[in-house]
Structure 1
């Protein structure tokens, strides 16, 4: 099935915005719960954030509003919150489903472990190609 390849443009994480909401017919300054502010900072520092574009941050910002409602006691949006953070790889299960993996193992040995090119060269350095019909074939 054909697909479209997009040029990736990493976007910097925005700050949680200041805005007003209507309460009893009057506009009042919205205050982010401290738990949501901490949650937002966690996402900004997460390894996943290196792969977020502007649309990802916009979607996560909308998710922050749901998170704020949740931490203010409105649990009616808990399922939506869970679904939205899963799209960004919040849990081990989410990251596995999204085919995300941390690079700790490669970094620990400088990339020279069983998947490193240097290790492969050392392991197979003594192998040689045997062409049919040559003397090497008889030596086996």
Structure 2
């Protein structure tokens, strides 16, 4: 005879650690948000890589919820991105990755932050049709074309 209480069956278990906050719905509208890189840093001589990186963040759906502190973080991170583009290092990449993770850079980061980007019409990933390479090659050889 087993001692102690029996565990609840998996089918009847109830989650007790309910989410502490709701999810945030974002839209992919391409609007430029936040301050310019010059306004954040006082510098105009940024490399093209850093300008493109910062512009990506300004147009990202996550920028809809950014506060002044988030933009300040990106301003500080710009120097590390520039340094990394000139001389890549594991330490710089780790710092960039960690900071971007906090801002919701990847799909998994947004899932953890309960951010949801609403899909627009025609925003679906392209569908790739499968082709039987052997049958395709045989048909091309029969027709005499490449």
Q: TM-score, normalised on structure 2?
A: 0.53
Alpha-carbon shift at residue 45 of structure 1 (Å)? 0.6
* Number of aligned positions between the proteins: 86
Could you tell me which residue of structure 2 aligns to residue 16 of structure 1? 37
Could you tell me which residue of structure 1 aligns to residue 51 of structure 2? 37
1:87 to 79, 99, 102: 102
C-alpha separation in 2, matches of 1:33 and 1:73? 13
C-alpha separation in 2, matches of 1:32 and 1:90? 22
What stretches of structure 2 of length at least 5 have no aligned partner? 1-32, 122-146
Could you tell me which residue of structure 2 aligns to residue 100 of structure 1? 115
C-alpha separation in 1, matches of 2:93 and 2:45? 20
Runs in 1 of length 4+ with deviation above 3 angstroms? none
Q: Provide the secondary structure at the position in 1 that maps to 2:55.
A: helix
C-alpha separation in 2, matches of 1:45 and 1:100? 16
C-alpha separation in 1, matches of 2:56 and 2:73? 16
Could you tell me which residue of structure 2 aligns to residue 58 of structure 1? 72
Aligned-residue Cα RMSD (Å) equals 2.0
Q: Provide the secondary structure at the position in 2 that maps to 1:101.
A: strand
C-alpha separation in 2, matches of 1:93 and 1:65? 26
What stretches of structure 1 of length at least 5 have no aligned partner? 1-11, 20-29, 109-140
Could you tell me which residue of structure 2 aligns to residue 127 of structure 1? none
Residues 33 and 72 in structure 1, CA contact (< 8 A), matched pair in contact too: no
Q: TM-score, normalised on structure 1?
A: 0.55
Higher RCO by CA contacts (8 Å cutoff, separation 6 or greater): 2
